[in-house]
Amino acid sequence: MEAVKTQDIGVNDLPWKIEYHAERCTMCGSCVAGCSFKAIKVEVQKQSLTVSEGSQPEPKHTHIARPIIKQVASLTDFCRGCGMCEKICPNNAIRPVRNADTRKTLLSKDNGPIKRGGRTNLNAQRTLDSIVVGRISQMTDPSLDAARHTFDIRAPFGRVLPAKDLPFEIKDGKLVQKTKTPPVDWIYPLIFSDMSIGALSTRAWEAVALAVGYLNEKCGLPVRMSSGEGGMPVKLLESDYLKYFIIQIASGHFGWNRIIKAMPHMVTDPAGILIKIGQGAKPGDGGLLPSAKVAEHVQAIRGVPKATLASPPNHQGLYSIEESVQKMHLSMNAAFGFRVPVGIKCAASATSVSVYNNLLRDPYKICGGFFIDGIQGGTGAANEVSLDHTGHPVVSKIRDCYLAAVKQGLQGQIPLYGGGGIGMTGNAAADAFKLMCLGANGVFVGKVLIQLLGCVGNEQGRCNSCNTGKCPMGICTQDPRLVKRLDIDKGAQKIVDYVLAFDSELKKLMAPIGNSSLPIGRSDALVSTDKAVADQLGIQYVC
């Protein structure tokens, strides 16, 4: 037998170790068949036993070969801690256990930077958690009845003109509109963030889309969903449900050939266009869809061969804010006859206020929304160093942009939407309420949706293997065997139930401060237990 080298990988070098109880195992094979990462295998173990079979003690030394489940010691086929083996084992004989002695991050860079999906593992501490609702109306201002009062929970998507800029005049004693006004839609302040067909499995994308349709048609909540980069199915583009979808165009322009060809056949306009400049989870890194997830239907929608699809880190030909306004916004507005709001999405950064100020001064008045994505946003695939070490928290940038608009008297003209870690603790309504009080018109969420579908990934390094195409829950994969694990109807129902709870919780937060409409800019309703946070955001410090 060859001697073990000190550089050889052992189980104790991996982030998760398999705890296996052979005495409980019936060797049904469920765990091995269910592990999409091939992190466990069946092996035969030689055991030496001393037995006595007679009526008198007659010890005999014998050897037997016993099949066991063994963990694979590999930096490619390693356990991600998803717990699928534990979930399907009928005898509780196996489970993953976090390994504090892991050396994987150090050892797994032989083939370049580590890639993974999920969210940042190093920036889990959130500003929002140190902020609470402190202005609770008692004797000074009457609070509202959250169960009986009528609340106006709608946010604008589109350029909102001030009264002095409205193109109206009195002619023959009648109010006449001289020119068209920018399109404005009043939507629910919770947008389902951009997750493309390709990043998600067909079933996962269908479940989210089904939830959007149900919330609009049956629940009366005008929730909107962004398509993500990569296009949409032609049948959906040519259906009446397109009105619930915000079509995204990113730097790769994937899928836009099909969108352009479908435009003459569209029976309704989309809910909007979103130009993605950057994403908070990987700013400056562009987009990435690994070849393992470029299935046949993805190839057809995007018009590409089976290969790793990388979007450039910026839109080619756009090297200034002014060019973006003139070229992208103008062309996208013109494409749909100036009937569709066009927004822009950027990663939160030190220059977010500069971008917002330029958009506010846009002479064409065609920017319909500014979407700011923070470092704690998720992604399907990125370099780990980008996920953990680049980006900017979203809270202060939302506040800075809002206050910059207030100083110019332009607040509310270009709606602000914030994202990146919204709902990370499970309660997106509280996060949304706090961001609105700081100046946002609404929020966009992505990771919380796939968690409702069954995703077990978290900020402590569990799973987060969206980039591998081996998602054990059938959410971020195109493998037909794995995709079948996802129940579309149950997933859609989970999302619908969550949004209905979100709506109820948002009212329960609006009622105590006496607001029957969204509390945009109501920073007086918030207090912070962190002095630095209170000073930075301009809210009251309490202890």
Position 183 scores a pLDDT of 93
Q: How far does the chain reach from its first CA to its final CA, in angstroms?
A: 66
Tokens, residue 377:
């946003």
The model's pTM is 0.93
Tokens, residue 490:
């149950």
User: Cα dist. 432→152, 442, 539 in Å?
Assistant: 15, 7, 17
Is 401 marked within a binding site? no
Is 79 marked within a binding site? yes
Position 325 scores a pLDDT of 66
Query: 131-541 is classed in which CATH architecture?
Result: Alpha-Beta Barrel (3.20)
Distance (Å, rounded) from C-alpha 483 to C-alpha 381? 18
Q: How deeply is 102 buried, as exposed, middle or buried, from its count of CB atoms within 10 A (0-12, 13-18, 19+)?
A: middle
Q: Are 336 and 268 in contact (CB under 8 A)?
A: no
Q: Annotate 105-159 with DSSP letters as a single string.
A: HHH--TTSS-EEEE--SS----GGGGEEE----SSSSPPP-TTTS--B--EEEE-
> Of 13, 397, 436, 444, whose CA–CA distance to 192 is shortest?
444
Is 455 marked within a binding site? no
Counting Cα atoms < 13 Å in the Cβ hemisphere of 188 gives 23
Distance (Å, rounded) from C-alpha 444 to C-alpha 280? 12
Is 466 marked within a binding site? no
Position 142 scores a pLDDT of 79
Helix 428-437 with 395-407: angle, nearest 10 deg: 30
Domain segments of the chain as ranges: 11-112, 131-541
Distance (Å, rounded) from C-alpha 22 to C-alpha 421? 41
Q: Are 521 and 410 in contact (CB under 8 A)?
A: no
Position 497 scores a pLDDT of 98
Distance (Å, rounded) from C-alpha 434 to C-alpha 417? 12
- DSSP β-bridge partners for residue 20: 94
Q: Which residues of the chain have pLDDT under 50?
A: none
Distance (Å, rounded) from C-alpha 271 to C-alpha 228? 14
Distance (Å, rounded) from C-alpha 228 to C-alpha 274? 9
Distance (Å, rounded) from C-alpha 475 to C-alpha 466? 8
Position 314 scores a pLDDT of 79
Determine what percent of the chain falls in helix, strand and coil, rounding each to the nearest 5. Answer: 30, 20, 50
Distance (Å, rounded) from C-alpha 46 to C-alpha 532? 62
Parallel, antiparallel or unpaired: strands 131-133 and 442-445: unpaired
Position 319 scores a pLDDT of 66
- Exposure pattern of 226-235 as b/e (b: 16+ CB <10 Å)? bbbbbbbbee
List the Cα angle 302/305/311 in 5-degree steps: 55
Q: Are 420 and 82 in contact (CB under 8 A)?
A: no
Q: Which CATH number fits domain 11-112: 3.30.2350.10, 3.40.50.10810, 3.30.70.20, 3.30.470.30?
A: 3.30.70.20
Is 437 marked within a binding site? no
445's enclosing H/E stretch is strand 442-445
Is 476 marked within a binding site? no
Position 253 scores a pLDDT of 87
Distance (Å, rounded) from C-alpha 527 to C-alpha 437? 11
Tokens, residue 3:
């001697």
User: Cα dist. 360→159, 330, 356, 404, 414 in Å?
Assistant: 10, 15, 6, 10, 7
Distance (Å, rounded) from C-alpha 534 to C-alpha 406? 19
Position 331 scores a pLDDT of 83
Distance (Å, rounded) from C-alpha 148 to C-alpha 177? 39
Q: Is the dihedral of CA 468, 472, 474, 476 positive or negative?
A: negative
Distance (Å, rounded) from C-alpha 371 to C-alpha 345? 4
